A and B are shown apart, each in its own frame.
Chain A
Amino acid sequence: MSNQNILEINQISKNYERKIALSSLSFIVEKGELIALIGPSGAGKTTLLNLLATILQPDSGEVIVDGKPITQYADQKKRAKKIGIIRQQFDLVGQLAVIHNVLAGRLADWGFFKSLFSLFIPQEKQVAMKALERVGLPDKAYERTSNLSGGEQQRVALARLLMQKPEIILADEPVASLDPARADDILDMLTKIAKEEHQTVIASLHSVEYARKYFTRLIALKNGELFFDLPAEHVTDEQLQDLYQLKELK
């Protein structure tokens, strides 16, 4: 069952007021795929990710996660086991120590008292420390998260995902605010971890170079429609030029 379809997207559309954000988009994702969403800004990448994260609801069409419609994952705790999210670095609680931000990945499994107690004496510390070691920050566990650099904060977010262990990772511009060296670092780590844990990644990216370098499949969106959907090595420079061209030549 290694080629199981983890995610099916059927004919989903989403409109904002007058603007069409997505029009009848469909594709299927198999377990373990590393997918990069590319396309000019306003193409609908973020809308698609927000639909998958159930922050938005589609106007029509459906999303099927692991054989069940996404609407059946109404319980936040169950959904968190299936889908995890990483965004730009502003997603950590700056005033908490790093270890608590990492352990927050376990909140779906913890009850009220365990979560409260953990703020005083960190619970499941070994697991958290192991996660921090994997992202290369074992010595920062007790530092205030806001004192860390942008790249380090993004690694803490990765460590949190390691704790949460979702089957699908949604990454919305995970490296948008980082310098190139850090960005390489984070994407390398993200895709490596996903491979090791057999997770599926869907990431929106501004940069085509990163998409080709780290991901196996590229899905290009333009004006809310599918522009192309190809394995990374089959994407040609001409196609990319067409994708980012300002005006369509008709």
Chain B
Amino acid sequence: MKKRKFTFLTFSFYAFLLLIAASWYFVIGVKNASFLELFSKENVAYASKFFKGLFGVGQEEIAFLNRDSWSYAFTLTIETLQMSIMAIGFSTIVMFLTVIPAARNVADGTLTLSRKWYRWVVFGLIRISYIFSRAIPELVWAMIIIFIFKPGILPGAIALALHNFGILGKLCAEVIEDTDSRPIRNLASAGAGRAQILMYGVLPTVLPQFLTYILYRWEVIMRTTIVVGFVGAGGLGQEFKLSMSFFHYTEITLLLICYLILVIIADFISEKSRFFVK
């Protein structure tokens, strides 16, 4: 047993070294990407122009010194915040609807004390949907969704929710799998039915942990809102892309400032809430 473990770990180690070497060879050798070329005169001139642009050097209209731009950016910030809350709301709702049959100890009946064959079928289907949802990045979801919905924060929220409900579902199903079954069994022996076991035994135990995960995902969603905006899903991201294409560099700076403020606030709330919920 010990020998096998050793070989698998060493195999993985060398496989990784090989993978890293191959990747770098591919980047440098096949794609002919020269690192030094990044700092060619042309590039340096271009980059310095870009960064000067960001800071508004030598420009007449500087967005981040303009009151109207700020108030416009503020409405966009609120929109982005709404999108993130809607997204986490949607994914939480779907997670709640699916998470209980997705826990292994519910499927095999150890938690609910009743065994049914079809539980495993439901378990499998939901877990596959989780994998599917998780594996496809938000941006790809957004690109597909934008075909169906009008541009705005709703498609953005749906795309973010589609990616996150799988992650949330997987994390929360694991929380249910880790619950202590002793209090649950005792409730059953006190005559509680299945719904009552859920209300009195399972939910109170898992909800605090669920909330931590929900807030953690909200923090991540906040960071990603800007990205789904790139494909037209509203908020700061959409404006960011427009400013990029029109070379309104100072607007980009302004939008980035708003974005950073949102991310820092989300980070702070998610961090603090961990102590609050406990």
A positions within 8 Å CB-CB of B: 53, 55, 76-77, 79-81, 83-85, 87, 90-96, 100, 104-105, 107-110, 112, 115-116, 119, 160, 164
With A91-B186, A115-B200 as given contacts, are A108 and B205 in contact (CB-CB < 8 Å)? no
- Within 8 Å CB of B204, what residues of A? 93, 95-96, 100
B contacts with A: majority SS: helix
Residue of B nearest to A164 (CB): B190
Bound state CA distance, A33 and B11, in angstroms? 66
* Cross-chain contact B189 with A104 (CB below 8 angstroms): no
Known: A94-B183, A96-B200. 14 other contacts (CB 8 A): A76-B191, A79-B189, A90-B180, A90-B182, A91-B186, A93-B187, A95-B207, A95-B208, A104-B187, A104-B192, A105-B190, A108-B190, A109-B191, A119-B200
Q: Using an 8 Å CB-CB cutoff, how does the interface string of B185-223 with A read, 1 for contact, 0 for none?
A: 111111111011001110011011000000000000000
Bound state CA distance, A109 and B188, in angstroms? 13
Top 10 closest pairs, chain A to chain B, by CB: A108-B191, A80-B191, A91-B186, A107-B192, A95-B204, A77-B191, A85-B189, A107-B196, A96-B204, A93-B183
B positions within 8 Å CB-CB of A: 180, 182-183, 185-193, 195-196, 199-201, 204-205, 207-208
Residue of A nearest to B179 (CB): A93
CB distance from B183 to the nearest CB of A (A): 5
With A90-B180, A93-B201, A116-B199 as given contacts, are A85 and B186 in contact (CB-CB < 8 Å)? yes
- Within 8 Å CB of B188, what residues of A? 76
CB distance from A244 to the nearest CB of B (A): 28
* Cross-chain contact B182 with A87 (CB below 8 angstroms): yes
Bound state CA distance, A133 and B193, in angstroms? 27
- Within 8 Å CB of B200, what residues of A? 93, 96, 100, 104, 107, 115, 119
